[in-house]
Structure 1
Amino acid sequence: MAGELDGKVAAVTGAASGIGLASAEAMLAAGARVVLVDRDEAALAGLCAKHGAAIPLALDLLDPAACAGLLPRILEAAGRLDILHANAGSYVGGDLVEAESAAIDRMLTLNVNVVMKNVHDVLPHMIERGSGDIIVTSSLAAHYPTPWEPVYASSKWAINCFVQTVRRQVFKHGIRVGAISPGPVVTALLADWPPEKLAEARASGSLLEPEEVANVVMFMLTRPRGMTIRDVVMLPTNFDL
């Protein structure tokens, strides 16, 4: 895919690990300059030393002022924005009665409010330029009422509705908005899974690798401009048994 994103500027939130890192590295390999947005400043420094076209942006998106500064800081560092991958998120699983209220608030803020604000803030810039791609990391949980993660699934159902309604508002401006909805991926978000469930999933080949998800992101970004890939649901075949 070398050269397919030559001249493009992308920003990826939650870029220091997991899906965000794999997505950013795929875009870099395709020729884009990529702003890596994450709160882990040390991890960003290491990644940018490895990737010459990567631009570090240490930012805590849960801080309202920092979140509001996302686009201005991207423009200051890179001059424009062609692609936003709104990927940052967190996970709360298990029985609802066992969830901590503070954890619920934090997850809903990051998974829903932050995504909405990030998209809201970049849209005027993309509308003015008459082009842009926005991809949001959703989840298989947005399409199925998964009984062991009611809080997380609810956040992804909400954001999936947001993606599809905004998509229909802004396509007339040359902006494509879509979601990726992976099943379980080997990332830090699985840290809350019960150990026996995680071991069983690994043993049965029921987990995706971040690089596999990044391949789908690239598929969406490199389609002809007249084609919007509105959402892609992906899951390991064995997970569907």
Structure 2
Amino acid sequence: MSDMFGGKTAAITGAASGIGRATTEALISHGARVVMIDRDEAAMARIVEAHGENAIPLKLDLLDPADCDGLLDAILGKVDALDIFHANAGTYIGGDLSDTDNATIDRMLNLNVNVVMKNVRTIMPHMIERKTGDIMVTASVAGHFPVPWEPVYSSSKWAITAFVQTMRRQLREHGIRVGQVSPGPVISALLDDWEPDRLQRAKDAGTLMEPTEVSDAVIYMLSRPRNITIRDMIVLPTAFDL
């Protein structure tokens, strides 16, 4: 436990599992209060039970336009101000483009790209008014390399990489830092559609990492002095080859 983020309030989307949960728990361990934004009330309740009043559940479906538009009001209904916003929620499609369908593509692009842009647009006036803040986005190493076995997912993360780089330049004059963490394969719900044999081979080969190894990178990025922005940190399992 430390007081590195004492007095700070964060909001994290997709906070009930994976990287979102790991980052929630890491920030709380360093003194922050965290508004957990997720659809899974039961999972959020377990985090509250483990971490107490600094874990604040907020049930929203970000694919619902009303919930998405009301994000900032919902957050400020729970806390007085927002210092850190982590746009972490996302989904995954692997395989050949011909193996998916248009509805699944729409859902992925809406959550991985559109929702992120809308969320940042919604919360940034609050940070601009306060002249400070941190916006963090979960991207992917797939946003830096055209991964042929996941063309839709990789394209969504390339879009986010461009978005983060442009928004960093737009918001820096307001005292707001914008950055992304770009992990390689993480053991999380995003890998639920991997074949069991493929998943086991990856675990045995050491090409997967735990969500806490990504949250450690997020904490490092957020804890830099205000005159330093780490725009992107790529975090990979040592044995991962891309």
TM-score interval (norm. to shorter): over 0.9
Q: What is the match of residue 120 of structure 1?
A: 121
CA distance in 1, matches of 2:143, 2:197: 24
Residue identity in the other structure for 1:84: F
The residue aligned with 2:25 is 25
Percent identical across equivalent pairs? 63
2:4, 2:186 → 1: CA distance? Answer: 26
Give how far 1:197 is off: 2.3
Match of 1:89 in 2: 90
- Report SS of the residue matched to 2:82: coil
Aligned equivalents of 2:154 and 2:32: distance in 1? Answer: 32
> Which residue in the other structure is 1:164 paired with?
165
Report SS of the residue matched to 1:240.
Answer: coil
Residue 234 of structure 2: aligned partner: 233
Q: 1:27 deviation in Å? A: 0.3
Partner of 1:147, secondary structure, is coil
Unmatched tracts of structure 1, length 5 or more:
none
Is 1:185 matched with 2:200? no
Give the Cα–Cα distance (whole angstroms) in 2 for the partners of residues 165 and 55 of structure 1.
31
User: Matched residues in 2 for 1:84 and 1:201: separation?
Assistant: 32
Partner of 2:47: 47
SS at match of 2:89: coil
Give the match's secondary structure for 2:78.
Answer: helix
How far did 1:163 drift?
0.5
* Corresponding residue of 2:136: 135
Q: 1: distance between equivalents of 2:147 and 2:198?
A: 14
Q: Deviations over 1:87-118 (max 9, x none)?
A: 00000110100102111110100000000000
Match of 1:149 in 2: 150
Q: Hey, what does 2:34 align to over in structure 1?
A: 34
Residue 47 of structure 1 and its aligned partner are, at CA, apart by 1.3
**What is the rounded CA distance, in whole Å, between the counterparts of 2:122 and 2:70 in structure 1?**
9
TM-score by length of 1: 0.98
Determine the C-alpha separation between the residues in 2 that align with 1:180 and 1:137: 5
Q: List per-residue Cα deviations over 1:166-220 (Å, max 9, x = no partner).
A: 0011101110000000000000101122333222111110111100000000000
Match of 1:71 in 2: 72
**Alignment partner of 2:11: what SS?**
strand
The alignment status of 1:62 with 2:54, answered yes or no, reads no
* Structure 2 equivalent of residue 99 of structure 1: 100
Aligned to 1:174: 175
Runs of 4+ in structure 1 over 3 Å off: none
Figure out how many residues of one structure are paired with residues of the other and give that number: 241
Deviation at 1:43, TM superposition (A): 1.2
How far apart in 2 are the matches of 1:24 and 1:184? Answer: 20
Which segments of 5 or more consecutive residues in structure 2 lack a partner in the other structure? none
